[in-house]
Chains A and B, each alone.
Chain A
Amino acid sequence: MESTFADLMARLDFALITSLHIIYPPLTIGLSLLIFFAEWRWLRTDQEKWYRLTRFFEKLFIINFGAGVATGVTMELAFGILFGPFSTAAGPVFGHLLGFETITAFMYEAGFVGLMIFGWHKIGRGMHLFATFNVAVASFLSAFWIIAANSWMQSPAGVKMVGGQFLVSDWVQIIFNPDSMTAIPHMIIACLELSLFFVAAVSAWQLLKQRHVSVFAPALRAVLPVLLIAAAGQIWIGDSLGRTVAEEQPAALAAMEGHFKTHNADGTPNTSWNVVMWPNADNSGTKWALPIPHVLSLLEDHKWVSRVPGLDQFKAENRPPILVPFYSFRVMVAIGVALFGVALWGVWLWVRGRLANRKITDFENRWFLRVVVVSAFLPYLAIWTGWWTREVARQPWIVYGMMTVSEGRSQISSAGEIAWFVCFSIFGFGVLISTAYFLFKVIAKGPDMSAKIPRENEEDHQPLGTLPPIETAAQGQ
């Protein structure tokens, strides 16, 4: 029992820091691309609105970026601290993947983000666009490596197991493992969708307040069609990922769908899909459920009748927990569909010309704008629930089918585990609350419409700050 509690604490410790980290990177990843787009439009068209949008969203970007870096450094070291035996065993594969991420993405991004934020008026406009471009590329690379590493834990491939270690035998197989081929696009589209909704919601909020309509109405109109494509694509890729999971991790899929019995009582395949259900006390079946026949085989195999392995095919100790994957999966899917609906509504309004600047100043479509503002929170929830589904459904494995969480965790005393949980809860939520506060503050303040617009060949080397009353500076000594 003691070890079960310690396993749970180790998982909770890591779940806490990952959950409090994954809030920030998706916005960094998606928004960097959108800022690049706005800045590129500005350079091409020389229209002021694009410059204002670039600078405004850049301010939001950097607040979010700082929080992402602050919580992200923890992640890397936490593997060694909390999951030492896993780090030793999987280091040759997993550690190198994280190392590649650090070198090709993290460092790369850090090298240009300073230029992007503080380089205005110091470097040329073209050079600045180049810096923004590199930040966007680096953050996409970062997503690529991290998801590749996580996917390898879901569907380990390309390794040889020698002496308690996973040794590299084929990098191509490791990086392009079956899971990563759908998980990487799924996450990248998620980042884009989240950021598009973020931009849409910030714009919609400003429009509801009738502020800077000439800046934000074009922004809203620009993101809506992309949003529709992203939301539709996400549903399609999500379905592909579900089928990959069905193939690679049948136990995980069974848990996500609450699918206990492979066969019905009469021997035919059980094809019922549970809309909602509650497992019975010993996790061997449902206490109650709302099943729809044939939907499960349609979803997993795209066939009317097919055999989908249920949880009864797996030994009791190899079955994942059911409640968390089942319900968080449903929340994620529901959000995905709802966001598609919002995007569809928006595009419909846009096609009918009802989002034109004049219509907005006439206070039209206020309900749509309100819905968009609220929708911005949904992608965050979807990413959380998606990751909870993915990670909990992999249990009890840390490397699927090869190494369990219990084997992979460091033998830290419960006091240590609890201290970690408490400290990182305080700091993690502190960072989250302050980040949210400053984001809202900058959004409420709106773009700075009077700042000087950089012109070509005008970069100056003024000191970073303005001159102060000097006397006050020395008083502290």
Chain B
Amino acid sequence: MKIFQMLKTLLVALSVLISLAGLPALAQENAPVGHEGAPSVKGTQANELPGSGGFWSAQSQTGSVPLSFRQLRDKVQADDPALSAGQKHELLRNALYEHNILALAWAVALALSVTIYLILDGADLGAGIISLFYGDDQTRGAIMASMAGTWDANETWLVVAGGILFGGFPFIYGSVFHYLMLPLMVLLLGIMLRAVSLEFHHHAARSQRFWGLGFAVGSLVVAFLIGAAGGAVLDGVQLTPRTVTYAGGGTVLTFTGGLFDFISPFSIWTGIVGVITSVFAGALYLRARFVHDSPVRADMKDWVNGSFIVLVIASVITLGWIWLRFPWASQKWTGPWIWGWGVIAAWVLYALWNIWDATRRERDLAAMVWYAVMTASSLGAMALTVYPWLVPGTWTVYDAADPSLSLVGFTVAMGGFIPVILIYNWYQIWVFRDRLSALGTYDHH
């Protein structure tokens, strides 16, 4: 036992150290040719400026002028005869530097809110899916009651991610969402069904079973479609340039394909993985939410163990599939930083082992925390794999960003409000921390 503890500590310390040292290096890996962070200058993927290396090469520029992107671009576009072509180029390059840092910062914020959403709401969705297997309305009602005070706040992280995407990456919002129309539409219907079912279930008398079922089915649909949409985005989007005359005119990339373009064996599979992951998260969550002697909590032990094994197998399949399907992934994984990916993989495995271990020792909260660590690490690793793309093969972080990003907006949103949100979210979870007994009549509100 002692040796285990020591090994554990050592592993944690090592992985943290190596990750810290390795991450910036990983991020610096070269972007695919032709997309070295050349950002949108004219509102579309601009032709690369000769010699412009985008963010990472601009970083080596010393003595950059601290003007905003807007002011600089105005200068460049003003056709100022006093400026030579070379000077203009210099100016623009400096502007891109600031713009690209902001674009990256917004992308990190986006990744963060998606991750928080998947961790928090994933558990709620999973609990909903599990409730499909409890035919009696009492247990399902108890499961619904367990998230009565928090589901709304958990779900709003999805809306936060949407807001960041809309304002920060309008090019993606306007094109990829059209591509995902069908899954998003059904997803929205699922969210709607789930939300009203949660509210109406305890007001209903005769229709309780209906709302309980609506909650469970809605959860299943949402979990599947989030996974499927994620897979469809990894597949990339085919966009067509279109000349427009509004707002100064230019060329914008739009989606012109059909409703069912998002369907591929891979996206269906990622949908299934979404459901499996949610069930695992939901089982962990329910174990932590019900009183120790409740039968639901006892059942959940089998659910955790079962879904754990399925999840591990599914993850291996998914990784293999990504490896074979996406050259950008396999190239990066086998590139010069292969050991770094090894460390990340080891860290994720270690987190997985801890979930298992914590469940075995009846430490429900620890299991949930390790689950969060595992999810965040895997999603982070996936984001690093996809970087510099946001939508592989279509939009890089820098191309897709709003060309007029400003530090003010970012500071206000991310520096000011996100920490405050996190604080009151935490307070809320703290207030509703008690375990439930088996029956979920939350009449007492």
Partner-contacting stretch, out of A119-127, A192-200, A220-228, A381-389: A119-127
Decide: A103 near B163, CB < 8 A? Known: A118-B442, A465-B439: yes
A423 to B139 alpha-carbon distance, docked (Å): 30
A73 to B190 alpha-carbon distance, docked (Å): 11
A94 to B170 alpha-carbon distance, docked (Å): 10
Contact B246 A89 (CB under 8 A): yes
Contact B196 A66 (CB under 8 A): yes
Contact B150 A114 (CB under 8 A): yes
A100 to B159 alpha-carbon distance, docked (Å): 11
Give the Cβ gap from B439 to chain A, nearest Cβ, in Å: 3
Indicate whether A293 reaches chain B with its CB closer than 8 angstroms: no
Contact A69 B200 (CB under 8 A): no
Contacts of A104 on B, CB cut-off 8 Å?
Answer: 417
Interface size for A (C-beta < 8 A) is 101
Contacts of A94 on B, CB cut-off 8 Å?
Answer: 166
Indicate whether A265 reaches chain B with its CB closer than 8 angstroms: no
Decide: A118 near B170, CB < 8 A? Known: A108-B421, A163-B248, A403-B246: no
Residues of B245-271 contacting chain A, CB below 8 A: 245-252, 254-256, 258-259
Partner-contacting stretch, out of B86-94, B290-298, B318-326, B376-384: B290-298
Q: Which residue of B lies closest to A448 (CB)?
A: B443
A121 to B413 alpha-carbon distance, docked (Å): 34
Partner-contacting stretch, out of A41-49, A164-172, A353-361: A164-172
A434 to B36 alpha-carbon distance, docked (Å): 53
A462 to B155 alpha-carbon distance, docked (Å): 26
Interface string of A178-194 (1 = CB under 8 A from B): 00000000000000000
Indicate whether A410 reaches chain B with its CB closer than 8 angstroms: yes
A85 to B181 alpha-carbon distance, docked (Å): 14
Indicate whether A306 reaches chain B with its CB closer than 8 angstroms: no
A410 to B259 alpha-carbon distance, docked (Å): 12
Indicate whether B408 reaches chain A with its CB closer than 8 angstroms: yes
Contacts of A473 on B, CB cut-off 8 Å?
Answer: 136, 138-139, 142, 294-296, 438-439
Interface string of A153-173 (1 = CB under 8 A from B): 000000011111111110100
Q: Which residue of B lies closest to A420 (CB)?
A: B185
Contact A171 B156 (CB under 8 A): no
A441 to B203 alpha-carbon distance, docked (Å): 9
Give the Cβ gap from B147 to chain A, nearest Cβ, in Å: 10
Contacts of B178 on A, CB cut-off 8 Å?
Answer: 80-81, 84, 410-412
Indicate whether A152 reaches chain B with its CB closer than 8 angstroms: no
Contacts of B149 on A, CB cut-off 8 Å?
Answer: 114-115, 117-119
A166 to B244 alpha-carbon distance, docked (Å): 13
Indicate whether A71 reaches chain B with its CB closer than 8 angstroms: yes
A83 to B244 alpha-carbon distance, docked (Å): 15
Most buried by A among B140, B149, B150: B149
Residues of A385-426 contacting chain B, CB below 8 A: 399, 402-404, 407, 410-413, 415-416, 419-420, 423-424
Contact B442 A76 (CB under 8 A): no
Contact B135 A442 (CB under 8 A): no
Contacts of A78 on B, CB cut-off 8 Å?
Answer: 188
Indicate whether A450 reaches chain B with its CB closer than 8 angstroms: no
Contact B133 A477 (CB under 8 A): yes
Give the Cβ gap from A451 to chain B, nearest Cβ, in Å: 8
Decide: A92 near B403, CB < 8 A? Known: A76-B162, A103-B413: yes
Decide: A73 near B255, CB < 8 A? Known: A66-B195, A407-B244, A416-B181: no
Decide: A111 near B246, CB < 8 A? Known: A63-B203, A102-B156: no
A474 to B438 alpha-carbon distance, docked (Å): 9
Contact B170 A404 (CB under 8 A): no
* Set B134, B198, B200, B404: member contacting A92, Cβ < 8 A: B404
Given A80-B173, A104-B417, 15 further pairs, Cβ under 8 A: A65-B199, A70-B193, A71-B192, A85-B242, A91-B174, A95-B165, A99-B164, A110-B155, A120-B445, A160-B248, A402-B246, A403-B246, A410-B255, A467-B438, A468-B138
Which residues in A have some Cβ–Cβ distance to B below 8 Å? Answer: 62-63, 65-67, 69-71, 73-74, 76-81, 83-92, 94-104, 106-108, 110-115, 117-123, 160-169, 171, 399, 402-404, 407, 410-413, 415-416, 419-420, 423-424, 427, 431, 434-435, 438, 441-442, 461-468, 470, 472-477
Q: Give the 4 A-B residue pairs with the shortest CB-CB distance, closest first.
A: A91-B170, A88-B174, A468-B439, A80-B177
